[in-house]
């Protein structure tokens, strides 16, 4: 895939997440995917997402920035949601938090093989401490 195709494919992956279509995850994620150095595999990756959807009922992924140089995609994702209980070890307890994730993916063909993700935990802490 060239950069335009890969960017469109990545947007389709995010749309798949936003419709909670974990049955289609295998179209976008490799069987042996590694997430932040953890060899989750496709099933573990799906379990991670299912846990996110359970813990954050209104979770939605919004792409703020997309940088595409095959086989890599980098994105800045924005979240505006209400985690039900603890999130990243913080007692959010249903309060609204707005935060970002900067994430880089390495694709192998059409599937995500590696993910390097950093969530802006400090931004969430700052919002909670202001309340």
Binding site for its own copies (CB under 8 A): 3, 64-65, 67-69, 72-74, 76, 88-89, 100-104, 116-122, 125
Residue 18: alpha-carbon gap to chain centroid: 10
For the CB of residue 129, give the shortest distance to its own copies in the complex, in Å: 10
Residue 57 φ/ψ, nearest 5 degrees:
-60, -30
Q: Which residues contact 68 (CB under 8 A, 6 or more apart)?
A: 3, 4, 6, 7, 10, 74
Instruction: In angstroms, give the least distance from the CB of 101 to its own copies.
Output: 7
Give me the least distance between CB of 96 and its own copies, in Å please: 19
Q: Cβ closer to its own copies: 3 or 40?
A: 3
Nearest residue (CB) to its own copies, 26 versus 71? 71
Whole-number Å distance between alpha carbons of 100 and 76: 7
Cβ-based nearer residue to its own copies, 22 or 128: 128
Looking at the Cβ atoms of 6 and 25, the one nearer to its own copies is 6
Decide: residue 28, CB within 10 A, 0-12 exposed, 13-18 middle, 19+ buried.
Answer: buried
């Amino acid at each position: 895939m060239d950069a335009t195709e890969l960017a469109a494919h990545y947007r389709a992956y995010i749309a798949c997440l936003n419709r909670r279509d974990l049955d289609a995850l295998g179209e976008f994620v490799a069987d042996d995917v590694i997430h932040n150095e953890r060899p989750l595999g496709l099933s573990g990756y799906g379990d991670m997402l299912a846990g996110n959807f359970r813990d954050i009922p209104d979770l939605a992924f919004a792409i703020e920035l997309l940088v595409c140089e095959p086989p890599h995609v980098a994105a800045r994702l924005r979240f505006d949601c209400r985690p039900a209980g603890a999130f990243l070890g913080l007692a959010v307890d249903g309060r609204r938090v707005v935060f970002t994730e900067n994430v880089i993916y390495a694709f192998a063909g059409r599937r995500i093989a590696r993910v390097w993700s950093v969530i802006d935990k400090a931004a969430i802490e700052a919002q909670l401490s202001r309340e």
